[in-house]
Amino acid sequence: MSESSSQPAPDEQSLAESIYSDEGQLRAELVEEITSAIEAKDRDLIRNALRDLHESEVGDILEAVGEEDRSSLVELAGDEFDFAALTEVDEAIRLEIVDNLPNEKIAEAVRELESDDAVYILEDLENEDREEILAQIPFQERIRLRRCLDYPEESAGRRMATQFIAVPPFWTVGKTIDYIRAGEDLPERFSEIFTVEPTFKLSGALHLDTLLRAKRDVVISDIQDRNSHPIPAEIDQEEAAQIFERYDLLSAPVIDEHERLVGVLTIDDVVDVIQEEAAEDIKRLAGVGDEELSDSVRSIARSRIAWLGINLVTAILASLIIGLFDATIEQMVALAILMPIVASMGGNAGTQTMTVAVRALATKDIGSYNTLRIIKKELLVGLLNGVFFAVVIGAVAIVWFQQFSLGVVIGIAMVINMLFAAGSGILIPIALDKLKADPAIASGVFVTTVTDVVGFFAFLGLAAWWYGI
């Protein structure tokens, strides 16, 4: 065979290389090649590029190409496009692609997906489109998908897979293995099987390694794990993820209100949930809502404007406090120079405490058994940091303005504000959590308001009292 016939074409060879750089980012030249192929409508190159890629890699490519090229990429890829990749992209991108596809094509793709991936795509569609797609899916699978879609958003029921292996507990190991080998309508991958009573009530679970090590005549009920950590379908997906973390699970059965087995939650979906929830908390702490990088300018601006408006109100409140001491500031210009330092340090300290508190509440690390102890600890931290920075800024003020009394005033104000910052940073999230509100949403605004108001009032009030202004 000649050398030329044994080597792939140059374009195919470059696309066959790793799609990521050493820094873990998509190679820019790959994105350029894909974009050029889309513009040239080169179906062969597109299909060769996507054929051996994982769904997450295809998702990264979809996010990297231009908005106008994504639907064309899906069309050109044809049967080589794995619709599971749509579960790996931002919601805005997923909807953009799906909206440009006929419902018949989506129904065809959904039939090939695992139920949890299919639900992930269907749940964002308009009811009319969703019903039209479901009508084109075989009856049994349609019932499974409807059952998942009936559960609340972000619940374990929405994330579960409806394909699982369940056998009676009185079966033997040999019969169970034969059933798994002969079964046609079984999940492609699984790490455990479940045992159910005649009413389909969950009885227990059995890991594959235990099954394969047992003799064929052993009865399943003798080796099953009855403490299988079942997850109610109605609970929030974040609570389900915490169960996985607590018990180091790879998968867990999902049960309905009658304790009947309805699905299985697997670690790959839980990892996605953990990432989603962590990203959601970070965004809420910053007041940016559920926006994604792929969202339009209008939607991003709209999601941010509400919290910016609230911040404006709190800033006006802080300004009103400053206005109470306008005469004091007029007589001592040094106060205007130094007062932002007190408020800024308090704001940063409060944010540190608040971030730790919000995360601890999310992971259930703060409860009635340790709340008081944690509050005391944070107040002590605030006091120690306040004293340290009071000495530092007091010395700076004395050297800068040659006034010992000014250093004392700003030092005392610093201690007071750091204490209030620590207290508000821990107490506000806990209070919001007790009120059944999400601490990540509103804590930042309240903590910033407290530290600004207390910082300005303490510093300017002490100065006015000290100097008799």
**Would 3-158 and 166-266 be classified into the same CATH topology?**
no
Candidate CATH numbers 1.10.10.10, 3.40.50.880, 3.40.50.10310, 1.25.60.10; the one for domain 3-158: 1.25.60.10
pLDDT tens digits for 4-22? 434 444 444 444 457 888 8
Q: Alpha-carbon distance 271 to 368, whole Å?
A: 28
* Angle value at C-alpha 20, between 14 and 25, nearest 5 degrees: 135
Residue 213: predicted pLDDT: 95
Q: Average pLDDT for residues 282-310, to the nearest whole number? A: 77
The segment with the largest mean pLDDT, out of 276-280, 422-426, 463-467, is 422-426
Give the chain's radius of gyration (CA, Å). 30
How far apart CA 133 and CA 127 sit, in angstroms, is 10
Query: What is the pTM (predicted TM-score) of this model?
Result: 0.75
Q: Mapping DSSP to helix (H, G, I), strand (E, B) and coil, where does residue 279 land?
A: helix
Spatial strand order of the sheet with 261-266 comes to 231-232, 251-255, 261-266
Q: Is 44 left (phi over 0), alpha (psi -120 to 50) or beta?
A: alpha
Asked if 46 and 34 count as a contact pair (C-beta separation under 8 A), the reply is yes
CA distances from 356 to 294, 361, 446 (A): 29, 9, 16
CB burial readout 352-361, b (16+ within 10 A) else e? bbbbbbbbbb
Q: How many CA atoms lie within 13 A of 51 on its CB side?
A: 11
Superfamily of domain 166-266, CATH level 4? CBS-domain (3.10.580.10)
Q: Among 15-19, 151-155, 437-441, name the one with the lowest average pLDDT.
A: 15-19
Query: Domain residue spans in the chain?
Result: 3-158, 166-266, 297-467
Question: Quick one: average pLDDT of 145-167?
Answer: 94
Region 279-291: mean pLDDT is 74
Is the Cβ–Cβ distance between 267 and 249 less than 8 Å?
Answer: yes
Most confident of 23-27, 267-271, 311-315: 267-271
The topology (CATH level 3) of 297-467 is: Tetracycline Repressor; domain 2 (1.10.357)
| Residue 135 pLDDT greater than 90, yes or no | yes
Question: Which DSSP category does 414 fall into?
Answer: H
Give the Å distances, CA to CA, from 362 to 50, 88, 190, 203, 429: 38, 24, 30, 31, 10
